[in-house]
Structure 1
Amino acid sequence: MPQSEKRRTGLTANAVKHARPRETAYKLSDRDGLYLLVKPSGVRYWRMNYRFNGQQRTLSFGRWPEILLSDAREMLLEARRQLAKGLDPFEQAKLDKIAQSIAATNTFEAVAKEWLEKIEKEGLAAITLKKARWLLEQTYPALGKRPISAITAQELLLVLKKVEASKRYDTANRIRSTCSQVFRYAIATARAERDICSDLRGALVTARTNHRAAITTPTEAGGLLRALEDYDGNALTRIALRLLPHVFVRPGELRWAEWRDFDIEKAVWTIPDYKMKMRRPHAVPLSKQALAIIAEIEHDASYSSFLFPSLRALDRPMSDNTINAALRRLGFSKDQMTGHGFRAMAATLLNEMGTWNPDAIERQLAHADGNSIRRAYARGQYWDERVRMMQHWSDYLDQLRAGATILRPKFGHSGS
């Protein structure tokens, strides 16, 4: 074969495979600067010699057989393209390795756990953190080791569809929502360019909303209140059960109530933002009845900072299941009443009175107003009305507990 033809043709896969080691390393040239370096140990490396800015340089493409002849030629072609653009392939290879290293540490699982640490430091409720971890853990087998910037909407959809296939519709939607928060965090920390979860809106079955069980009629409410008075379990649990209807906060907010949050003289309980679901501070006017129930607690902050400490550790609040377990013990099934149901009971009966501005009721429930401008305007409103409303509500509960017949005239909404 003529020498010029040999240079054009280069090596063959068979020649590479049967290259035998010698006492010293030697080269088998291919074409366009590519060659195979054969070490005395028999290990074979693909290399390329080139000149850049007047300097001789060598670029390594990897080892045979991990990199085959056809692979090495493709890598050679890419290097020559870079040279044609005035780029140094050696420096580009270093940058690629750095990028790969960064991508390896910025996997979806790594970023998700970093986000979980962040929201934990922000004081998110333990039960909320636990749910977020559980939701994200369902994505780790398929997506955990993937660079978060490389994950596509279709990949995530496959994970969500598997959950949906087991008819866990709400879980699938919650996973999508939680992943969206992780992606938004990745964008803010320069690990991703966009939230792929937004592409999946409408792609999942929407779960039917199941409202929490609650007693919402005056007669049933009276029976419930009498049952709470007869609770014969732990004394602090009985106090918590009797206080909750008067303040109708979320059960988690009652659990984490601390003495320092209460101003007994001013009759107000101010819940800090980090204990609230919506991360905004909330004030609860305390009726005479609520203050009297709180006064039954025999310990103070020197014993435990919590009004309702755990039976096992004074530096922790009571269990998140305590209220519901007590209701079950009293004979109320989970389909009849829950700790959260006291909020629905208050919202329903207060609105049925027709006496109170619905916005005042919503403010006392600490519901978020979707309109940010309106929310800012309303922040200082309704306080006086809420103070009157909370006292009236406690008086009303006393009448229901006593079994009195309650007349509920429609007086119309009062002004704010």
Structure 2
Amino acid sequence: MALTNISAKSASPKDKDYKLFDEKGLFLLVKKNGAKYWRLKYRFAGKEKLLSLGVYPEVPLKEARDKALEFRQVLRSGEDPSAQRKTQRTPIDTPDTPNRFEPVARRWHELNTPRWTPRYALKVMQMLERRIFPFIGHRRIEELKNSDILEVLRKMENDGVRETTRKVKTYLQQIYTYAIAEGIAEHNPVTGIGHALKALPPANHQRSLPINMMASFIDAINKDSAHPVVKLGLKLLLLTMTRTGEVRYGRWEEVDFDKRIWLIPAERMKMRNDHLIPLSAQAISVLKELHTLTGHSEYIVRSPNNIRKPLSENAFLVLIKRIGFTQHTTTHGLRATASTALNEAGFRAEVIEKQLAHEERNQVRKAYNRADYLEERREMLQWWADQLKTI
């Protein structure tokens, strides 16, 4: 069965690399670190060969098919596409040259992947593939100057992604630290570049809703004309003290109604452990109502427009804006509201932190605390839900 844009986009990393086949030898290689590469398999002179057709999503499905068609036409003419490519190849087509920036960066990424969650590793690689490799990936890493790095980062600034610019600058700094340690480069052209970039705006600390406004906040949600899935999803976030992404990508298979538990797997958490969430009576009620709307879908809060996609990233923020509470809170700020209320009510700080899924810094404790404080957290979340009388 031929690939589709949806299947290519939704292909998730697994424990091992795997292939998604399209047609006539074209396939998408999905690496265990989340990177995706187009490959064309063909036979010439009785031997099986492979051609690299680019990185997904920079090279979309249609473009990969067009490239594959061009090379198959070369093959029909009696020539080896690989041999022809060597004579036509530009520097950017040679990412495997050891000291070019792209392969060095990929080795740095592979070295660090075991320390990261799969989701974060994928995010880092996607930033590099979108923002860095197209511009300097083909250049020899030891030849790049401060001005070369600055030019790339200023492209990002001009795109209006200034916070992302700072993150990518950090990745570049670390890549060069790795390259110097390996003896590939002698100096770090990223050093000092921050002074030539625009200053970031003042930090926008997450606003938390005052507890005395919670009743009017929930009332406004109930009265709003938003899709029921959006309203119920925001209530679920509020009741469980979870993050937006944890709710958006939540799956029905993770919910155990009998045990009143929602288990979010580690790969979706900012930490490396699964996160067990005890469900209050109100959370169960919200989930059952959601199930009547989305139970036929994979996602608990699926997109109202597409059964195969989760809710859009900004859906909750749009709802908060429409009901007039943007100046008072954000989705993340609702977690702070709950934390403040629970601390003031006398619940133990470590229990609250566990519910917020904040990383345990003590490595010995972290190995044993997957279900720590579960019953205390169940009691705590039920108390919190009872305070939200109009939920």
Give TM class, smaller chain. 0.5 to 0.7
Alignment of 1:321-400 (within 5 A): 321-333=314-326, 335-353=327-345, 355-376=346-367, 378-398=369-389
- CA deviations on 1:306-361 (whole Å, 9 max, x unpaired) are 1111223212211111111122222222x4322222212112221222x1111111
Report the CA distance between 1:250 and its aligned residue.
0.7
Query: What residue identity is the alignment partner of 2:224?
Result: Y
Change (3 A) 1:318 1:163: closer
Report the CA distance between 1:167 and its aligned residue.
11
For structure 2, list consecutive stretches of 5 or more residues without a partner in the other structure: 1-93
| Structure 2 residue 208 is the aligned partner of structure 1 residue 214 | yes
Cα RMSD (Å): 4.2
- CA deviations on 1:1-32 (whole Å, 9 max, x unpaired) are xxxxxxxxxxxxxxxxxxxxxxxxxxxxxxxx
- The separation in 2 between residues aligned to 1:374 and 1:201, in whole angstroms, is 40
- Aligned twin of 1:83: none
Alignment of 1:130-141 (within 5 A): 133-134=126-127, 137-140=130-133
Report the CA distance between 1:139 and its aligned residue.
4.2
Query: What residue identity is the alignment partner of 1:384?
Result: E
- Aligned twin of 1:314: 307
On the 8 A contact 2:351/2:377 being kept in 1, the answer is yes
- The separation in 2 between residues aligned to 1:191 and 1:297, in whole angstroms, is 56
- The separation in 1 between residues aligned to 2:186 and 2:364, in whole angstroms, is 28
- The separation in 2 between residues aligned to 1:140 and 1:279, in whole angstroms, is 29
Change (3 A) 1:345 1:144: same
| Structure 2 residue 218 is the aligned partner of structure 1 residue 225 | yes
- The separation in 1 between residues aligned to 2:348 and 2:196, in whole angstroms, is 38
- Aligned twin of 1:62: none
On the 8 A contact 2:119/2:267 being kept in 1, the answer is yes
Report the CA distance between 1:381 and its aligned residue.
3.0
- The separation in 2 between residues aligned to 1:234 and 1:394, in whole angstroms, is 22
- Identity percentage of aligned residues: 30
- The separation in 2 between residues aligned to 1:344 and 1:369, in whole angstroms, is 18
Report the CA distance between 1:269 and its aligned residue.
0.4
For structure 1, list consecutive stretches of 5 or more residues without a partner in the other structure: 1-100, 403-416
- Aligned twin of 2:76: none
> 3-state DSSP class of the match of 1:314?
strand
Change (3 A) 1:182 1:285: farther
- Aligned twin of 2:89: none
TM-score (norm 1): 0.57
For the pair shown, which has the larger CA radius of gyration, 1 or 2?
1
Query: What residue identity is the alignment partner of 1:222?
Result: A
TM-score (norm 2): 0.61
- Aligned twin of 2:240: 247
| Number of residue pairs aligned between Structure 1 and Structure 2 | 292
On the 8 A contact 1:149/1:191 being kept in 2, the answer is no
